[in-house]
Every structure is written in C-alpha cells, then in structure tokens.
Amino acid sequence: MVSSPVNRPLPAEPRSVGSSSGSRRRVLDPGTAYQVHDQPGVRETVYVADSLLVRGRHPDTYAALESVAAEAGFTLARDDGSALGREVLDRAPLTDAQRAELEVVWVERVRLEPSRDREETVFRPIDTWRLLQSYRSRVGRDSPRHGDVGLEHPASSRDIDPTPVTNPHPVTNPHPVTNPHPVTNPHSFAVSQYTQAGLGGRQPVAWLGPPPQPRQRQDDDAARRPVVAVFDSGVGPHPWLGERFVLRDPQVLGTSIGVPGLTGTGEPAGSGDELVGELGDDAGHGTFIAGLVRQACPDALVLSVRLFGDDGEVDESDLLRSLQLLALRHLLGVNGEAGYQPVDVLSLSLGYYHEQPEDSAFDALLHGPLALLGRWGVCVVVSAGNDATSRPAYPAAFAPYDGGSVPDDERQVPVAAVGALNPDGSIAMFSNDGPWVRYLRPGAALVSTFPTTYDASEAASHELLNAAGEWRRSLDPDNYLAGFAVWSGTSFSAPVFAGQVALALQAEFEAGDTGTDAASAVARGRRVLADLPKRALA
C-alpha cells in the first residue's frame, strides 16, 4: 500500500544532520549558537572548525574580519593554498570583462591562528561561528560586505548529505538472520534496505551486453562532442572509459582542477585501509558515475575531476577551488585557446545543509561560481540527497522554485536538482524531495562500470575444489574484477540526467547550433532543460 505524501510528508530534518567526523568538524547547535539581532534563525549544520571563506578581496571585508579576529586574540593566516587557485586566474589570458566577473565571485580560505602577542598563554580554540557573527554585526546587515564571509562546510560528508546509499560491511555470514524481532521502524527500514545486496546495495554483477556505441566516428575531428565535467572520486581503469571518453586529471594552465594530492585514480584494490583492507565507502563512485554518463550519451567526453577519496567528503574550499578553475578552463575554451573545450554539463553528486538558508546572503560564496557557469551556458546538474528529508540540501536547492532563494533568470541556465526513481518508476524512499527537485531519474539498483582492479579483503564465504580440479565459490562481495556493479543513490540519478542533457545538446550540435558564446549556449541549455521530461509538481 502506498502512503499519500499529503498525509505523510517527508521529515523536515535529515535523520543524521547532527553527526560529524574528523577533528576539524563541529556541529552548529541552534540551541547554543551565538546569534545577531534581526537575523534569520539558525539551523543545525556541520562546519570546519578553524577556517572561514572570504569572497572578493575587498579591503573593507578584510579590515573588518581582521579587527574582530584581533579582538578575540587571533590573526588571519593566508597562504598560497588558501588563495584557492587565484594565482592561475592572475595569469590567465582573459578579457577584462571575463576577469572582472571571476574576481567578484572568487573565494579564498582564511585560517584562524592564535595571536603571538596575546597575554594569555593558554587559550581555547577559536569559535569561527561566533567570529562570523561578530563580523556580520561589525559591517551591518545592509552592508554589501555582509555576505562576503561564511562558514566552510564539509561537502559530501557521509553523515549529512547526498552520498550514495552504501553499507560498507555486507553480511557474509552463511547462516541466515533468525532474530525473531525484525526492524519495526518503517521509515528507517524503508531507507536502510537499499544498502543491502539484492535490494540496491553495492554489489558486483556481470554485464553481457555490448558497450555504448558512439554515433560519431573516432576520426571525425570536426564534430563537436558534448563535454561533461564530473566532480567526484576519479575514474578508475575500465574498457568503456579509455582516453577517447574520459580525460583524467583535467588541468588549466598546468594546474590540476582536482584537489592537489588526489589526482590519481585511488587505491588499486579500492581500499585505503592498510590494516583491514575493506572496500572504501565511496570506492568506485566516480567510475560508476562516468559509466552512467556514457550509457546515456555514448559520445560524451567526461572531464574527471577528483575531489575526494573513498570517504566521499570534501571541504567546501576544495570544492570552490575546483569550481573556480573549471570556470576558468571553460572560458579559455570559449575564447578558442588551444587545448581547451567549453564545458556543456557539470555533474555534482554532493552537498550539505546550510545553517541560514533564509538569509538573503546565506551562501553567495558557493552560489557565485555556479551562477557564473550558468551565465556562460553550462548546465549544472546536482543530486537531491539521500536523507529522505524535505530540508533543502545545497547546491541542489539553488534550483529556482517558488519561495526559493534563487529566482529563474533568463540570462543563465538554471541549476537542475535530480531525485531518484526505483526501477518501477516510483520515487525511491531515500530520495530527498521538495519543490526544487524538478527532475526525477532512475537512481535505485542501477548497473554501471566499476574499476577492474577492485578486489578488497572480503572473500567468498565458501569455496571448494571439486573432483575435476575446478574451483566452486559463493559470491565474493567485493571482487569487481568483472568491471560492473549495482548501486543506489541520488548520486547516480544526477549523472543519468546529466547524460541525457548531453545527448540532447549533441542533437543540437548536429543540427548546426554549435555557438560557444554565452547567449547561444544559455539559450540552447535552457531549451534542452525545458524539453526534457520533468515531474508534475502541484
């Protein structure tokens, strides 16, 4: 029996928003958080404890921030890494107008360090939320500098946002579960069952069909191919994902767009655990996504930008750095610089929950480069989230909707948020939902590519050598040498839709609409999004 969504709305808060991991993470508790008069209420979130994000390099912004930091006994620490790729922008061959647009939204990170000349030799760690509130009070709510500084959130933290549904510890005990007390929480079980092998959880499978067949000849250099940037865990080795279809570690002016130190393809066996060797929670995530894009649009070129390892988490500063460098690379392609192609689609399977989405300046820092990409004609596709909640996850909720913070602007391609469907066409129980989720695509029990080197420490529960000298085994739950897997999550409905967008754009290219200027690309992108099937929203 299907419950009516009118009678049983999704919970307003994700079940695990208060969880955090890592020594640099803190949970913002609305009950104890410092607040400023006349500002919107605070909601629970996770943030990075010792850093803030700053937009634009305006002298008034830094003067106010340095002043409140000094009063708290701290100083701002800025280094080359904190500039988040600004040195590449400074030497890029751009027009004055392009450079000005990028400089306005370019975000840098500042770390807070205890002042050396403070009287106290013993001190508490800085409370960056309290410092941010002091900054906002200092500049004033109506100041154009009010939104220049923000918390740094961990994007794609497994605890709070749209990572795939995965149980990293599958049951391999050969004895069936006989506990007479089943799980009786219907909401929890309805979501958690997707983590189990056979019900959509990650598991190896065999593929018997042919690989996706491109329409364009390999030697056809004149035809324009759709370019899909995938920000994820990187793409491992697979026959479908060779150099013709995947550009690993894309760069701009010799600098990797991905997070420094994460530009490879990950651990060969899929595990970074030297002592236990279990498959990482997000191991193979980017390879699975690249295969979905190829299935939807066989001619697409995937730009594989590695943001995180097998833990599925990236600091917002690293995400911003990669977005800013991608925007720069895209502009070089638009300008016709040799070796660069304009980006047509960006697929993001990540996000977080913001503490003050009702504030008009609540997250101009992350929205800035995404809006800029949209104004230059890039279709940004984002997963809705897997927490079965109606609380907006960002950047998915940057999609325009009635009552949202971002209006629809005809001068840019809007963000597209994508929820997940079951194989029967119903909405997957784990999928976040709300008016910002305008598109639904398959996201449960999908089959796609997996690195052909993945064989972690788990093993088949049974094996024997028969009389003929042949090995008989039960299924090895983390042996993916066959190169294919089943998995579930809105992380995968987003690239399914991104591939469909790319295929529709390819049809436009083949019909002669190949303009790379902003006006042509925006009109084309908006037309494609308008024509692709949407959900019916009341």
**Which residue bears the tokens 């079980």?**
189
Query: Above 80 in pLDDT, residue 183?
Result: no
Of 129, 131, 141, nearest to 37 (Cα)? 141
Res. 446 pLDDT band, cuts 50 70 90: very high
Specify whether the CB–CB gap between 420 and 443 falls below 8 A. Answer: yes
Report pLDDT for 404. 86
Angle at 406 between CA 403 and CA 412, to 5 degrees: 135
Which carries the bigger pLDDT value, residue 14 or residue 224?
Answer: 224
Which carries the bigger pLDDT value, residue 312 or residue 101?
Answer: 101
Once rounded to an integer, what is the mean pLDDT over residues 338-361? 87
| Residue 165 per-residue DSSP state | B
Of 325, 320, 297, 427, nearest to 366 (Cα)? 320
Report pLDDT for 39. 76
Once rounded to an integer, what is the mean pLDDT over residues 484-506? 97
**Residues forming a β-bridge with 383:** 418
Report pLDDT for 24. 79
Q: Cα 529 to the chain's mean position, in Å? A: 20
Once rounded to an integer, what is the mean pLDDT over residues 482-493? 96
Report pLDDT for 103. 95
Once rounded to an integer, what is the mean pLDDT over residues 177-202? 66
pLDDT > 70: percent of the chain: 86
Of 336, 340, 407, nearest to 371 (Cα)? 407
Which carries the bigger pLDDT value, residue 118 or residue 493?
Answer: 493
Of 393, 412, 484, nearest to 154 (Cα)? 393
Res. 434 pLDDT band, cuts 50 70 90: very high
Which carries the bigger pLDDT value, residue 413 or residue 24?
Answer: 413
Specify the 3-state DSSP secondary structure of 169.
Answer: coil
Token pair in block for residue 370: 């995404």
**Which residue bears the tokens 């130190």?**
261
Report pLDDT for 156. 64
Specify whether the CB–CB gap between 65 and 122 falls below 8 A. Answer: no
**Which residue bears the tokens 């504030």?**
359
Give buried/exposed letters for 285-304 (b at 16+ CB in 10 A, else e): bbbbbbbbbbbbbbbbbbbb
Q: Which of 76-80, 140-144, 344-348 shows the highest mean pLDDT?
A: 344-348
Query: Above 70 in pLDDT, residue 216?
Result: yes
Report pLDDT for 9. 55
Query: Above 70 in pLDDT, residue 175?
Result: no
Once rounded to an integer, what is the mean pLDDT over residues 97-103? 96
Report pLDDT for 222. 77
Specify whether the CB–CB gap between 152 and 53 falls below 8 A. Answer: yes
| Residue 4 per-residue DSSP state | P
Report pLDDT for 180. 38
Q: How far apart are CA 515 and CA 307, in angstroms?
A: 30
As a 3-state breakdown, the chain gives helix, strand, coil percent values, each rounded to 5, of 25, 15, 55
Residue 15: CB partners within 8 Å, gap ≥ 6? Answer: 188, 387, 388, 389
Average pLDDT over all residues of the chain: 87
DSSP string across 71-102: HTTEEEE--TGGGTTHHHHHTS---HHHHHHH
Report pLDDT for 378. 98
pLDDT > 90: percent of the chain: 66
Q: How far apart are CA 469 and CA 479, in angstroms?
A: 22
How many CB atoms within 10 Å of residue 517?
11
Query: Above 70 in pLDDT, residue 6?
Result: no
Specify whether the CB–CB gap between 483 and 210 falls below 8 A. Answer: no
**Which residue bears the tokens 């529960």?**
461
**Which residue bears the tokens 């500063």?**
317
Helix (H), strand (E) at residue 371: helix 364-375
pLDDT tens digits for 497-527? 999 999 999 999 999 999 999 999 999 999 9
189-461+471-531, CATH topology level: Rossmann fold (3.40.50)
Specify whether the CB–CB gap between 151 and 111 falls below 8 A. Answer: no
Query: Mind spelling out the 3-state secondary structure of 91-149?
Result: CCCCCHHHHHHHHHHCEEEEEEEECCCCCCCCCCCCCHHHHHHHHHHHHCCCCCCHHHE
Q: How far apart are CA 26 and CA 356, in angstroms?
A: 16
Token pair in block for residue 106: 């370019």
Res. 186 pLDDT band, cuts 50 70 90: very low
Report pLDDT for 13. 61
Report pLDDT for 310. 80
Which carries the bigger pLDDT value, residue 158 or residue 247?
Answer: 247
Once rounded to an integer, what is the mean pLDDT over residues 17-30? 68
Of 436, 416, 397, nearest to 525 (Cα)? 416
Specify whether the CB–CB gap between 455 and 480 falls below 8 A. Answer: yes
**Which residue bears the tokens 């997996």?**
450
The ranges assigned to domains in the chain are: 25-152, 189-461+471-531
| Residue 194 per-residue DSSP state | G
Once rounded to an integer, what is the mean pLDDT over residues 21-46? 81
| Residue 449 per-residue DSSP state | E
Res. 363 pLDDT band, cuts 50 70 90: low
Q: Which of 120-129, 159-168, 261-270, 310-319 shows the highest mean pLDDT?
A: 310-319
Token pair in block for residue 477: 């739950």
Report pLDDT for 405. 84
Query: Above 90 in pLDDT, residue 148?
Result: yes
pLDDT tens digits for 255-295? 999 998 876 555 678 887 888 989 988 899 999 999 999 99
Q: What is the pTM of this model?
A: 0.90
Helix (H), strand (E) at residue 46: strand 45-48
How many CB atoms within 10 Å of residue 38?
6
**Which residue bears the tokens 């995400």?**
319
Catalytic residues: 232, 285, 491
